[in-house]
Amino acid sequence: MAPVSVGRPASESQHQPPSAPDLDIDGLSDFRPIGTGGFATVYSALEANAGRRVAVKVLAAVDASGRRRFDRECLTMGTAGEHQHVVTLLRAGYLHHTGQPYLVMEHMAGGSLAHRLATEGAIPWTDAVEAALAIASALGFTHGRGILHKDVKPGNILVSGAGTVKLTDFGISAIREASGTSQLAYSIHYTAPEIFGGTADPDAELIIDPRDERSDLYSLAASLYTLGVGRPPFQAPTHVALMRQILLDPVPPTGIPALDGFFVRALAKEPTQRPLTAADLTAELLRLRDTVAQLGGLTSQWPSGPAPLVGSAGPTGPAPLGHDATRADHTITTVQSLVGGESGGQSGGTGPPSGVAGSSVEPDSLAPPGRRSRRRWFMMAATAFAAVAVAAGVVAAVQLSGRDRDGEEEASSTPIVDPSHRQQAADPDDDAVLGVTQLSDGRLASVSADGTVIVADPAQPQDAVVWSGYRDTVNDPAGDALYAVTVLDDGRLALAGADGTVQLWDPAHPDEPPTAFTGHRDNAKDPSNDDVYAVIQLANGRMASGGDDGTVQVWDPDQPGSATDRYTQHHERAGSNDGDAVWSLAELPDGRIASGSADGEVHLWTPGRPGSTAVIYTGHFEAAANPDDDAVRAIVSLAGDLIASGGADGTVRIWDPARTDQTIATFTGHADRATGSDTDSVRTIIQLADSGWIASAGMDTEILLWDPANPTIVIDAYPGHTEQVTALEQLANGRIASTSDDGTVQVWDPAHAGAGSVN
């Protein structure tokens, strides 16, 4: 694509960036203009108390409606920035003297992938796919919070100095002009067909209002194509021709047949033919990563030193922060490669480098009459925002690595996302995955709300063993949910379900009928209250199961005809039949069983003596503001003979089974981060074998990592799921498998969960 330069409207041509004394932003000094678009100026600044450079974007003054939109978009960026692959908005406000809106963001020294395309050409597919995986993770997080990006493109994919790929520009460019005309920046090369409203009429208003996440996923796929091929999938000399191509033409081949199948699906004209969610796209990208790795010769070709800056004078290496002259030249050139407009900075500058692949800025002569000046404004506003995080401007080496912890760079660890349950469910409302366990051969067994068991390596889901025998035997289709699964010493799976039974099924012989334990069904007075919610194997080889009938039953998996013990005190102590359900079980080192109930209590009792008085812990019951929010949904026995229990009150409580009248520590991270009182319930807890940290999760969709010795701090968070998390399992290799109502099983590394400390 030929170089283009989008100038400023005549009325704005005399607009000068604020001088340093006018930038009265508390805590910031040493402002250096590094680039100017028609309606925004980007500075680098020193944040002295943090000892770092930050990027500051100052927008031109806007009217009251624009201020409201600016405030709303700042909230959006604040939420999105919780993810490790989203550029962090540090703060925002209005200048005291002029009232202009400003944004302070983290400094992204590595530049954008659009600039890397412009300076180096196509990116090796191995690295391009890794970048796409990182951005897909960010989109999964933001989509789960109701945020659509609306402008995913290489220019909005930035790289930190440490090599972390991050997404920026979550709609801040959607600011109303003083005229009241609403404008939204959209990069036409990466725009999904449905955004055009199904028409190629050049006079028709574009519908810049994607109604679901698939338009963002299309844009990400188009960006991946651009990174690997070196140009967007569709190119044409006019907007009309380009729109027609996007609406009608097939995707041009990449030259690598193994990749073309992916792009045919991901760039399909019909949204229903594409991956439906970010999790689905991630699963396809993981398979694509394996494919390109097998092709050979596709290792990273990015140099270890800074990329050459086209059009800049002076050295190409990084200049010290105090080096003014050469740094100004470099930074303005870098910003211009992203902004695509004239430089209005104090040091002058150049236009964008030639051959910018996939530039979203179009020649103004291609715009329909009456829309040219508007495009000039909103294209510059959007791309200028992308440049905020590149304030220093020197392009560092791009290394797709994980975050830097304790000064040491760690390798990235991309989660594995397996949406197989979603694909098996006949009803989308029944695809929630409710339990997971690891077999001795390393495979995972997971169970879902539609009564399906899947045994597979999540990285190779095509080799799965799928068993729907439980679902097939349930008389009531609404009662076929499988709530829990555990693997027995002999390799069989114990499956706890809504029909009041525990089924013992052997994945090595999937066609053989299972053995059933029916004790909870036989015990329940009301057939609708016989669900089995928890099942564990005890150290002596027996099983313990708890359910909606308010009992815990201990039985022999080799002789499951009847229970050897039946513990009924939850049922007897509950104020109502609806408050006696047993939700969670754990075995203590001394052989006692801890059972948590909907009545907010944890009972400690000894198998073989189920009638004796149990020791009772009431911490969740006493803490719950609403008596309906005290159910104990999770229990785990910790190192040091302590117990951690999680409840619907949004807390995890650590306590000593020898002192049940006292809570040692309370973790409130889920309640603190939840968006409402009904979204803080804790569903599952595990303790990590190597670090001793606790991983807990629930209805707030995030998996939080924290230290039981310091429960006031969230160490890290894994935000990969889009709906509530139902189960956690630490695997033999130290990674964690998590399940969710979003229909996926995800496998991820707790050492690379999120973006480091989140407090």
CB 122 within 8 A of CB 88: no
| 693 against 63, higher pLDDT | 693
Q: What are phi and psi of 83, to 5 degrees?
A: -85, 145
b/e code 601-624 from CB counts within 10 Å (16+ = b): bbbbbbbeebeeebbbbbbbbebb
Give the separation between CA 461 and CA 454, rounded to whole angstroms: 9
Provide the residue type at 351 as one letter: G
Instruction: Write the CB contacts of 75 (distance below 8 Å, at least 6 apart in sequence).
Output: none
**Considering the chain, what is the average pLDDT of its residues?**
74
The average pLDDT across 485-499 equals 95
Are the folds of 10-409 and 635-759 the same? no
Alpha carbons 708 and 687: distance in angstroms, whole number: 9
Taking a C-beta distance cutoff of 8 angstroms, is the pair 536, 585 a contact?
yes
Give residue 495's pLDDT.
Answer: 97
Residue 429 dihedral angles phi and psi, to the nearest 5°:
-75, -10
pLDDT for the residue 77: 76
Average pLDDT of 491-502?
A: 94
Q: Topology of domain 635-759, per CATH? A: Methylamine Dehydrogenase; Chain H (2.130.10)
At 506 the pLDDT is 95
pLDDT of residue 182: 33
> What per-residue confidence (pLDDT) applies to 525?
67
* Range with the poorest average pLDDT among 132-136, 551-555, 568-572, 614-618: 568-572
- Encoded tokens for 32: 């250096």
- Give pLDDT tens digits for 614-629: 899 998 876 655 656 6
Residue 37, pLDDT score = 53
Q: Which residues contact 31 (CB under 8 A, 6 or more apart)?
A: 20, 23, 43, 44, 45, 56
Cβ neighbours for 18, distance < 8 A, ≥ 6 positions apart: 41, 58, 95, 98, 100
Q: Which CATH number fits domain 10-409: 1.10.510.10, 3.10.440.10, 2.40.50.100, 3.30.70.640?
A: 1.10.510.10
Is the pLDDT higher at 331 or at 559? 559
Specify the DSSP element, H or E, that contains 170: none
Alpha-helical regions (H) of 148-277: 214-229, 239-248, 257-266
Task: Identify the band that residue 480 occupies on the pLDDT scale cut at 50, 70 and 90.
Answer: confident
Instruction: Please tell me which residue, 549 or 684, carries the higher pLDDT value.
Output: 684
User: Could you write out the DSSP letters of every residue in 544-582?
Assistant: EEEETTS-EEEEBTTBTTS-SEEE-HHHHH-SSGGG--E
**Range 524-541 average pLDDT:** 85
Query: Which helix H or strand E contains 311, and what residues bound it?
Result: none
Q: What is the DSSP letter of 206?
A: P
Tokens 């983290």 sit at which residue? 106
Look at 316 and 421; give whichever has higher pLDDT: 421
Q: How far apart are CA 130 and CA 275, in angstroms?
A: 18
Question: pLDDT at position 369, please?
Answer: 29
Average pLDDT over residues 124-149: 90
Sheet order of strands, 632-638 included: 632-638, 642-647, 652-656, 659-667
Task: Residue 215: name the closest of 254, 169, 272 by CA.
Answer: 272
Predicted local confidence at residue 527, as pLDDT: 62
What is the rounded distance in angstroms from the CA atom of residue 167 to the CA atom of residue 152? 8
Closest to 716 measured CA to CA, from 736, 702, 727: 702
Confidence of residue 198 (pLDDT cuts 50, 70, 90): very low
Least confident of 405-409, 516-520, 575-579, 636-640: 405-409
Q: Which of 106-120, 361-375, 462-476, 717-731 has the highest mean pLDDT?
A: 717-731
Residue 103, strand partner residues: 57, 92
Q: Quick check: pTM over 0.85?
A: no
Mean pLDDT of 314-338: 26
Q: pLDDT at residue 204 above 80?
A: no
Q: Of 49-58, 245-254, 481-490, give the lowest mean pLDDT range.
A: 49-58
| Residue in 386, 378, 346 with CA at minimum distance from that of residue 8 | 378
- Give 167: exposed, middle or buried? Use CB within 10 Å, 0-12, 13-18, 19+: buried
| Weakest-pLDDT range from 85-94, 167-176, 641-650, 707-716 | 167-176
Look at the alpha carbons of 390, 394, 397, 403 in this order and tell me if their dihedral is positive or negative: negative
Close Cβ partners of 512 (under 8 Å, ≥ 6 residues apart) = 506
Q: What is the pLDDT of residue 41?
A: 79
What local confidence, expressed as pLDDT, does residue 438 receive?
A: 95
Q: How far apart, in whole angstroms, are the C-alpha atoms of residue 156 and residue 387?
A: 8
Q: Which of 78-87, 120-129, 510-519, 700-709 has the lowest mean pLDDT?
A: 78-87
pLDDT above 90: residue 7: no
Cβ proximity of 337 and 352 under 8 Å: yes
Neighbours of 627 (CB within 10 A): 11
Q: Calculate ∠ Cα 685-690-693, nearest 5°.
A: 40
* CB-based contact 171:183 (threshold 8 Å): no
Query: Residue 322 — pLDDT band, cuts 50, 70, 90?
Result: very low
Query: Residue 757: what pLDDT?
Result: 34
Q: Find tokens 């004394």 and name the residue.
A: 21
Name the residue ranges covered by the structural domains of the chain: 10-409, 635-759
One-character DSSP codes across 227-260: HHHSS-S---SSHHHHHHHHHHSPPPP-S-HHHH
pLDDT beyond 90 at 243:
no
Mean pLDDT of 112-132: 90
Which pLDDT score is estimated for 197?
A: 58
Q: What letters, b where the CB count within 10 A reaches 16 and e where it falls short, cover 198-224?
A: eebebeeeeebebeebbbbbbbbbbbb
pLDDT in tens, 351-388: 322 222 222 222 222 233 233 332 332 233 333 333 33
Largest CA distance in the chain: 88
Overall average pLDDT of the 296-311 stretch? 34
pLDDT-above-90 percentage for the chain: 37
Mean pLDDT of 660-681: 83
More confident position, 376 or 531? 531
Average of per-residue pLDDT across 427-449: 91
Helices (H) and strands (E) in the chain, counts: 15, 37
Most confident of 402-406, 524-528, 592-596: 592-596
The residue that leads in pLDDT, 352 or 426, is: 426
Backbone φ/ψ region at 288: left (φ over 0), alpha (ψ -120 to 50), beta: alpha
Residue 125: pLDDT band with limits 50, 70, 90? very high
Task: Report the pLDDT value the prediction gives residue 604, as an integer from 0 to 100.
Answer: 95
Q: What is the pLDDT of residue 729?
A: 97
* 46-55, 675-684, 732-741: least confidently modelled range: 675-684
